[in-house]
Amino acid sequence: MRQIIKTSLILFSLTIFALACQQEVEVEKTVDSAKPRNVILMIGDGMGVAQIQAAILAADHALNLESLNNIGFSKTNNAEGKITDSAAGGTAMACGVKTYNGAIGLDANKQPVKSILHYAEDAGLASGLVATSTITHATPASFIAHEESRKSYQAIARDFLDTDIDVFIGGGYNDFAKRDDGLNLIDSLTTRGYQVVTDQAAMADIKTGKLAALLNEGPMPPVALGRGDMLPNAATKAIELLKQDPDGFFLMVEGSQIDWGGHENNIGYVVTELLDFDKAIGQVLEFARQDGNTLVIITADHETGGLSLLDVDVLGDSTAVNFSTDYHTGVMVPVYAYGPGAEAFRGTYENTAIFDKMMTALGLDKQ
């Protein structure tokens, strides 16, 4: 017995000694300990600071966004230095290159560029995409497809099958099922091991494995017209499935329709979509706070509508808001970050740097 105690004591002392030795290394390791296992990029399409401020003014509670302290600005212009669209803006963040408007996963010379989702897949991480548009729309498409035109929705749907993406959730069923080439990509997805669901209740029942949730024929309806908690629930479901991969994951979650409210110059549409997006942000941050190993970045591809706020009653007083365009503008958009490596997102930089910073955070090398 005494021998056992003695041995235990020696082992205990050795452990303490080893820990003490490690501590010196620990300091240099701060870079490493800032390396998250998971990265979640959240894109509020068309979400400038005026849109966020409008939602803050309209809300009866603080936004989840307001809890974040690591903040930067992203310069969004496209390869020609002009106002970007969501394809060039999405490709900049997904692939790290400035390109022409309309390009999906191609550089300015129409050459395919590898996205962070593909890099993550090749490194053994799991990956996912969530959107409230069709899943074939410009923003999610930039992370997975390579097409000369963002309008090639059916070709973009086909591109999903060239990848190992684990989870995708959004609208766009028809781009997979009702195609001009007669192919039924739903069957192809099933053959490749995806559980394909077409409503939110069925999505809730999926607890493991690969998931293709195509929850509407076209885009999802606006949240004010019956989408419910689809976006927060989809973000939570994607995390639930992806976190089962011990190697980590990359996930992009888009609040797609903040932009559509901007195009319509409809402040109610903008605010309700932004509050819904913020609800999804709350879900994601709750996971990240528990997990401690997840970097969350929340930003936009561009501002939409040239929104200015002239008074505080943004929903009640029609003179309180002013849109200066029904298209996008060139103002910088905010970048919020939380989790290991979040400090790297402070400052003012090109939108392509978001790709570089995420790659660095995950320890992935560009090839």
For Zn ion, the closer CB: 90 or 128: 90
Q: Tell me how far, at minimum, the Cβ of 327 lies from Zn ion, in Å.
A: 7
278 makes contact with Zn ion (CB under 5 A) = no
DSSP H stretches of helix in 123-266 = 138-142, 153-160, 173-177, 185-191, 200-205, 230-242, 258-263
Strands (DSSP E) found in the chain: 38-44, 70-75, 126-134, 167-171, 194-197, 210-214, 249-255, 294-299, 303-304, 307-309, 321-323, 328-329, 333-338, 347-350
CA 337-340-343 angle, 5° bins: 50
End-to-end alpha carbon distance in the chain: 59
Q: Tell me how far, at minimum, the Cβ of 367 lies from Zn ion, in Å.
A: 32
Residues 232-271 that bind Zn ion (CB under 5 A): 259
Q: Tell me how far, at minimum, the Cβ of 328 lies from Zn ion, in Å.
A: 6
For Zn ion, the closer CB: 45 or 276: 45
**Choosing among Mg ion, Zn ion, none, which partner's interface includes residue 256 (Cβ < 5 to 8 Å by kind)?**
Mg ion
Query: What is the per-residue binding string for Mg ion in 219-258, x denoting contact by CB under 5 A?
Result: -------------------------------------x--
State which residue has the least CB distance to Zn ion.
259
Residues 116-175 that bind Mg ion (CB under 5 A): 139
Burial pattern 134-168, b for ≥16 Cβ within 10 A else e, equals bbbbbbbbbbbbbbeebebbbbbbbbbeebebbbb
For Mg ion, the closer CB: 74 or 256: 256
85 makes contact with Mg ion (CB under 5 A) = no
Residue 127 designated active-site: no
Q: Which of 86, 127, 133, 142 is catalytic?
A: 86
**Choosing among Zn ion, Mg ion, none, which partner's interface includes residue 139 (Cβ < 5 to 8 Å by kind)?**
Mg ion
175 makes contact with Zn ion (CB under 5 A) = no
Contact by Cβ (8 Å): 50, 303 = yes
Write the CA distances from 229 to 95, 201, 277, integer angstroms: 30, 12, 10
99 makes contact with Mg ion (CB under 5 A) = no
Q: Could you list the residues that contact Zn ion (CB under 5 A)? A: 259
Residues with catalytic roles: 86
Q: Could you list the residues that contact Mg ion (CB under 5 A)? A: 45, 86, 139, 256
